[in-house]
A = this chain, B = another copy of it.
Amino acid sequence: MPRAFSVGLDFGSNSVRAVVVDCADGATLGTHVFEYRSGERGVISDPRDPHLARQDPADYLDGLRDATRCALAAAAAEPGFSRQRVIGIGVDTTGSTPIPVDARARPLALDPAWRGNPAALAWLWKDHTAAEEAAAITAAAREHAPQYLAPIGGTYSSEWFWSKIWKCSKVAPDVFDAAASWVELADFVPAALAGVHDARRVPRSLCAAGHKAMYARPWGGLPSGEFLARLDPRLAQLRDRLYDEAHPADRPAGRLCAEWARMLELPEGIPVAMGAFDAHYGAVGAGVTPGTLVKNIGTSTCDIAIVPEAEPLDNVPGICGIVAGSVMPGYYGVEAGQSAVGDLLRWWVDAVCLGDDGLHGTLSTEAARLRPGETGLLALDWNNGNRTILVDPRLTGLLIGQTLHTSRAEVYRVLIEATAFGARAIVERLTESGVAVERVVACGGIAEKNPLFMQVYADVLGRPMLVAGSPQTPALGAAIAAAVAAGAAAGGYGSFEEAQARMTRHSGLDFEPDQEAHAVYDELYGMYRELHDTFGGVPGGRADLGSLMKRLLALRDRVAGGGTA
């Protein structure tokens, strides 16, 4: 069998990355990152409304073209590479990032008629304008259709498909009326590559549909027209223009069309894999297995676990979603997430310290000299709301324990710890619900570059933290999906498990929990949960906040070994 290659594309919050990999071992032959040009690093915001976050679909198409062409050009310099041996192309994206499109599946924002209208843009995952709509959907479902909420953690999020579309219908009814359909970015890109020019024929992935649009086979697809009409009759009408079926990742979304084949200089007709969210294909690229939680740590964090469909699995309250087949065929895909992780550190460095990227290193070095508990500080990691397990975007940050000596490095460390405590709340909820978590594989730049971050997580979670072998697991996962879509006969693979076994690995950089630190973090996590449950409004949460500051100081003094001459 001659060598075979596949292309993976990862559409992130600020850029799109293309990789060209060798199907034999997953080695990267060429890669390129295209930075979005619109707004601030690709994100279009509104100074009057901090919740708004949109993107220009033109950035997606420009990035698709330029990143792929450049990655292929880089690969062309490698011995043995041939464009003719590229057997498939796969795509992952952020989500839920729905885009209003016309009847030809073309984003409205590309039509000059809608230029400057933020509602016609792509509604980026972290757009939180639809909090009211999310709350109303949750309330209506709790009363009339609780089955819709069970697989998505019991609460519908403002970050998701229906909340955003409903919001659009209120604030921009003209855009809503003009939209023939709404397409998730994860479905839009494969459809574009496959030359689908009919909004009704865009192939929809089970990943986006099941995790974000309350789609499930037991009730025949999307939520019923009757339910949607309770929210707004216009949503029920829209339902008929959306889709009836969504598909797992083991069948292609289509075949590369002539136009894009020419543009990318790739063979026409090669399979385009079904799209998926970045964390899902990231988990595939990180080598997710039952018992291994994959944490895709970026601006936010998305956690993915899988559980064989043969095992009984209850729904997990507060977990974003449990969808059969959404990550890999034959497994439940379990998704959780934290709304701000890298973003939280970036906020401290950029907005407060007015520092540059180098400051992350400086603060990490200083913070690494501190022992757990030594700062006397504790924070909640909710500057961008809480996605899991409270599912509440209207939560905000909290920092407690400051003195006149508190330094920026201490706060930096405590923000890392806060995200680790948030991660622990998720892991505890998962294990209580029967999802095994024996180890964590982390992907993303923070995992590779920040040993303090990784050690804090190992110490807080009390579990080994491993680092994924690839610096671009989502794109690798997309390339794996492409190799599976192409099939063994073409030089790819017959199953995801087979492809993962050959194409993924760990970096060998392991962080083991320190038991002493773990014990201190057990105490701090207890206090974190007091704040978490109290300010998160958890019923029956136990707290003695009147002594919390003193307990932090006592812990700090104990850790520091006293000294009051």
On A, residues with C-beta under 8 Å from B are: 46, 48-52, 118-119, 129, 167, 171-172, 340, 343-344, 346-347, 351-354, 376, 382-384, 394-408, 411, 534-538, 545-550, 552-553, 560, 563-565
Contact = CB atoms under 8 A, between A and B. Distances in A.
A272 to B, nearest CB: 35
Nearest to A170: B564
Given A398-B398, A398-B400, A565-B171, A405 B534 contact: no
A129 B564 CA distance: 6
Contacts of A49: 563-565
Contact of A564 (B171, B534, B553): B171
A404 B406 CA distance: 21
Nearest to A554: B394
Given A51-B564, A560-B48, A344 B404 contact: yes
A interface SS class:
mixed
A383 B403 contact: yes
A346 B406 CA distance: 12
A343 B404 CA distance: 7
Given A352-B352, A396-B402, 14 more contacts: A50-B403, A51-B564, A129-B564, A172-B565, A347-B404, A347-B406, A351-B406, A352-B406, A383-B404, A396-B552, A397-B401, A398-B398, A398-B549, A535-B549
For A49, A353, A403, A545, which residue has the most chain B Cβ atoms within 10 angstroms? A403
Nearest to A545: B534
Nearest to A537: B546
A545 B119 CA distance: 35
A301 to B, nearest CB: 14
11 contacts: A49-B564, A51-B564, A129-B565, A351-B405, A352-B353, A376-B396, A382-B549, A397-B401, A397-B402, A398-B549, A399-B402
A170 to B, nearest CB: 9
Nearest to A407: B351
A167 B564 CA distance: 9
Given A401-B397, A402-B383, A352 B46 contact: no
A43 to B, nearest CB: 11
Contacts of A382: 549
Contacts of A406: 347, 351-352, 383, 397
Nearest to A355: B354
A117 to B, nearest CB: 9
A132 B175 CA distance: 66
A429 to B, nearest CB: 19
A564 B401 CA distance: 34
B535 A408 contact: no
A396 B129 contact: no
Given A376-B396, A545-B534, A565 B343 contact: no
Given A408-B352, A549-B535, A563 B48 contact: yes
A100 to B, nearest CB: 14
Contacts of A172: 565
Given A397-B400, A537-B546, A564-B52, A353 B353 contact: yes
A330 to B, nearest CB: 38
Given A52-B565, A549-B535, A565-B49, A396 B401 contact: yes
For A384, A397, A404, which residue has the most chain B Cβ atoms within 10 angstroms? A404
A550 to B, nearest CB: 5
A565 B403 contact: no
B549 A404 contact: no
A417 to B, nearest CB: 16
A342 to B, nearest CB: 11
Nearest to A130: B564
B548 A535 contact: yes
